[in-house]
Amino acid sequence: MTALALLSAAVWVYLLGFHGRFWQGGPVLVPSPVGQRAAFPDVAMVVPARDEAEAIAGSLTSLLAQDYPGNVRVILVDDASADGTGDIARRLADPRLTVLTGQPRPAGWSGKLWAVAQGIAETGRAEFVLLSDADIVHDPRHLAALVAQAERHGLDMVSEMVELACDSLAERALVPAFVFFFQLLYPFARVNDPLSATAAAAGGTILIRRRALERIGGIAAVRGALIDDVALAAAVKQGGRIWLGHSALARSVRPYPGVADIWRMVARTAYVQLRFSPVLLVGATLGMALVWLAPAALALFGAGGARLLGLLAWAGSAASYLPTLRRFRRSPFWALALPAVACFYMAATIGSAVNHYRGRGVVWKRRAYQGAGV
């Protein structure tokens, strides 16, 4: 037990002190005053949409309302929706909006990336392309802030973790941890460091330079990826600079009202993240148990030095979660529940593997994938 306590405490010393400051509350993209630049590059905004009738009007309206002095256009790709998503978009009747009916998906492509590729093909020569999920609502200052960030720092890609819905009890308990664990996997400071190999993006909002897209061979370079945002970021960072932060100017309106909804969201790609490897699954499960469960178990049931080390490690893990809870405006007492929340994510990861070996693969929006890459 003492050896376990020492190992768990040592892991937390590393995580808190040497793992890219994953626990920090930033960086956050803030509004950039319009009018401080002499020229504003053209931007084309591409929105892939499949069965997004409830959210699409609000999302497109927010994109069309951007306070950006340069030329903008919005391209919606209706990816075989069965709920009238395309018809709702067409009723907006804005000359800057183009609604495309998606073509059948070729072999080897994920549905979303094939829709994105069709949209990008319609963007002309716009210097920047903004990729936005169909459930994202944008502040009018958002596009200007994204472009300013890219231009100010010479970035090929700017991406943000948008504000996620956190209203139901399930969301309050589990959604902040989703962002927290993402930061643990991909510390933003390392993503933003051009000398680090770590690359990631958040698919809700990605601004990318056209020349970067052309350099990597277009969206076709990652056409089969199911964790497409991370794959795209990795491709762009090989020869370019990227930035990932939190957004104060965009939010997702997609609800996850129940535990089962969040379970499906996590299980959809958790085993993909582990490259469909049983070895990595076992390693990840043992690692999560060591990091999240062992400190609490030692603190509650250990004795002597092992219990003290467990308490210290549990306190460190809880403290690391506080900046994320503040961002979501949640009580700091949720930090004490982090071991239980980690159990949920461990179980969902195992459930993702079970789905894979039962032949269910990855299912999203009435479309199934089996054995695809990340």
pLDDT-derived band of residue 88, with 50, 70 and 90 as boundaries?
Answer: very high
pLDDT, averaged across the chain: 94
Is residue 303 classed exposed, middle or buried when 0-12, 13-18 and 19+ CB atoms within 10 A define those classes?
exposed
pLDDT digit string (tens) for 189-203?
Answer: 999 999 999 999 998
Query: Residues 339-367: pLDDT tens digits?
Result: 999 999 999 999 999 998 988 766 666 66
Task: With CA atoms as reference, report the closest residue to 90 among 103, 100, 79.
Answer: 100
CA separation for the pair 105, 77 (Å, rounded): 13
The mean pLDDT of 259-275, rounded to a whole number, is 93
Q: Which two tokens stand for residue 284?
A: 């990840």
Domain ranges, ordered by start, for the chain: 2-20+260-369, 28-258
* Topology of the domain covering 28-258: Spore Coat Polysaccharide Biosynthesis Protein SpsA; Chain A (3.90.550)
Distance (Å, rounded) from C-alpha 226 to C-alpha 374? 5
Q: Is the pLDDT of residue 323 over 60?
A: yes
pTM, full prediction: 0.93
